[in-house]
Structure 1
Amino acid sequence: MRLLLTVFIILLLTTPPSWAEACYTKQEAEAEQGIRIHSELMVIGLNCQHMATANGKNLYDEHRRFTQKHADLFATYEKIIMLYLKKNGDKNPEATLNKMRTDFANKISNDAAEMRPDIFCRSYAPRIEKAAKMDRETLRRWAATIFPSHPVSHPICKDS
């Protein structure tokens, strides 16, 4: 019994708590938000491409240009999230990242389904117009801002 208790105490003291790495650094939170923004803009572009324009251009085409303009940043965001997932024991981080993107897209798709298309597009299409004009640093500031209505999936680490 004493040996069992000793082993238990040693394990308790040497094993980090499961929540120790279950928080995001500021960089990881920015990456998740950047992926959310990109996913949401894609859904807006697809849903509103025939109803609204971004600076006189087709919304989905404008989203594609925005994606190309910031492709390196979105690739970096994906790498950051995949490293976080690997670090926390995810056996298939790419599948988890794809599910994350799908969940973000589904959330805004549900918003679209609950609104009349013209109202949805009037409310959300301006986001693509604004995003299309953003430079890299402005986009990063947007992604780094955590809004109460769009929290990240993990708390921010206190040390980050």
Structure 2
Amino acid sequence: MGLLEVKCPYSAVKGPHALSPAEASKTIKSFPLQDINGTLQLSKNHHYYYQVQGQLHITCYQWADFVVWTPAEIATTKCTLKKKLHCRDLLICHEEADVIIIHQIAKAAESGIQRLNVVCEDTDVIVVLLHYYTDLQLTCRLTKEGLSSE
């Protein structure tokens, strides 16, 4: 079993014409996929690569399918776990932070804690956490608070 990461980059839509992932990889410098010998691969210089690697390390999966959807086409590439990552490689961006928060909350809930209070503005964290809550058959009380504006 592996992970699935799907991206729908706005940068691939140029006016009325949508680029395919292959076209976007050749014309958009910041595009996450790159063409290597005729095969699209997730660029190791893109922060999505490190997002996927962080998710693989946290979940202990060996691979992930990285899917890029544009209105013109869908491209899929397989990313495998890189055993050794340097801390500098895993600079935290929004997506990685969500994964780490969810993983830590799920671990705490599995440990037998009676109540968890999640303080965050990001509803993505709660939605995914609720999935794990049911999937892992957790029984602790789960509450969410927003951040105060003070």
Normalising by the smaller structure, the TM-score range is under 0.3
Instruction: Please state which structure has a larger fraction of its residues in strand.
Output: 2
The structure with higher relative contact order (CA 8 Å, sep 6+) is 1
TM-score between the two structures when normalised by the length of structure 2:
0.26
Normalising to structure 1: TM-score of the pair?
0.25
Larger Rg computed on CA atoms:
1
